[in-house]
Amino acid sequence: MPEAEIRAEEVQMTMMEHLAELRRRLIISFVSIGVGAIVAWVLYPQIIEFLLEPYCDTLQTGEQCQLYVRNPLEPFSVRLTIAGYGGIIFAMPMILWQVWCFVAPGLHSNEKRYAVPFIVGALLLFFLGAGLAYWSIPRALEFLGQVGGDDFTELFAPGDYLGFVIKMIVAFGVAFEFPVLLIFLQILGILQYQTLTKARQYAIVGIVVVVAVITPSGDPFTLMILSVPMYLFYETSIAFGWIRERRSRKKASAAA
């Protein structure tokens, strides 16, 4: 068999192995989400009470904290939605671990030591962003209610309100993964911190635009409360790259 055909066959086998590994990781992730969805379905009363709390905080004394159903199928639809998103959140540690396991074989031995920091950092940042969203929701609701004036009475439907809350939490949680992505790309050698430094002025505008798009409220308070941490994360990623390169130079000098 010619050498070129042997190489092509080896490449094809490698690609097939990668696809098989990707399939395996996706199956494990989906099964984890399914298990998490069952847990969220069982814990639905506690979850819905937790998600209603920001709305209850905006009400005056004596006002009832209730959502008004306009469709007989809406309660069931809401419970399915909560179970779906809850399943993703509960399965997040396993999902991140599967992502790392898929990427790790292509890394060097010194890069694989970032496995635990990567997973722990991503989880902490996601829940930190979700917590910040949960804290900012009452402020966003108050702002949006005041913009319309005093001629409007707020009667929220479960689907509308919970969709708003879940989108806020997911948007903040995903946005807080921003530094993990930038640092991981630097570890892989795909991105250099010098590039981030040169693009700083464009990054500021880009962050504000992205935040305005991904947040459902679009109010100035939410825009500021998410844009500021994301820019700080951007600067943190630059600092990480600078420190990492400095240490690499010291090691190279010591070895020489």
Mean pLDDT for the chain overall: 84
Contact of 234 with 156, CB cutoff 8 Å: no
pLDDT reported for residue 128:
93
Task: Spell out the residues 6+ positions from residue 87 whose beta carbon is closer than 8 angstroms to its own.
Answer: 33, 34, 35, 36, 37, 38, 39, 40
Neighbour-count burial for 87-98, b at 16+ CB within 10 Å, e otherwise: bbbbbbebbbbb
Structure tokens at 110: 């010194």
Count: domains in the chain: 1
* SS3 of residue 66 by DSSP: coil
Which parts of the chain have pLDDT scores under 50?
1, 3-13
Instruction: Round to whole Å and give the CA distance between 162 and 23.
Output: 33
Q: Global pTM?
A: 0.80
Domain residue limits at 33: 3-255
Q: Round the CA-based radius of gyration of the chain to a whole number and report it.
A: 23
Instruction: Round to whole Å and give the CA distance between 13 and 152.
Output: 64
The number of residues making up the chain comes to 256
- Tell me how many degrees the CA angle 204-242-93 measures, rounded to the nearest 5: 75
